[in-house]
Structure 1
Amino acid sequence: MEFHLKTVLLIFALLIFVGLIVQVKQKKLDLQYTMSWIVMVFGLVVVILFPGLLSTLTMIMGVSTPVNMIFFLGFCFALLIIYNLTKYVSKLSGEIKSLSQSFAILEKKMKDGYHE
């Protein structure tokens, strides 16, 4: 990989990392949602600095070319993000259900107390 390309990719990774940190500090993103993206940026930096690792991993996994390995890793990363988002949505759905039930109980108590 050429020095110019490495430099551009490292700057790109740094900008993504800084953007993530800024959004966490501004409370636009929760840290728990950001961790998988930070891991992805770290992995990208490792592959940029040590491109031989990707070739070695490609041979170990039995993938035909490093480009296919990148697509495979991207697919795995997308599945990880989808799983995490599904987990968080499920948790929030349970919280919404609990809050709705609590609200309904309080509303019922208020109506019963008001009519007595």
Structure 2
Amino acid sequence: MDQQTASAFAERWIALWNSRDLEGVLELFADDAVFSSPTAARLGHGAGGVVRGKEALRAYWSDALSHNPELHFDLLGVYVGTTALVINFRRQTGVRANEVLVFDGPLIVEGHATHVTT
């Protein structure tokens, strides 16, 4: 993935979350994707915050969105690897976070949410 493609993807990812388009976000993921998140762990989704499969992701993110009606992300940076992309962003609370996304072709097969925890 080149920088231009990565930046366009990140802008789309941010726009989908900011519009609370859960189905649009899920379209970016493979059916058997694996995702880890401290928030998933806190909300009791997945084993230790590791969520497996699109249906489990739908349940987790639906729950997370219901707890966060003011959700808004501002894109800060996009970093490209060979099969991975890191999206650096700021949440509406001011907390900076990263989403580490691993691709197989056009779909995300693995993701990791990272952020400052208090």
Q: Bigger relative contact order, structure 1 or 2, given CA contacts below 8 A and separation 6+?
A: 2
Provide the TM-score with structure 1 as the length reference: 0.24
Q: Which has the larger radius of gyration?
A: 1
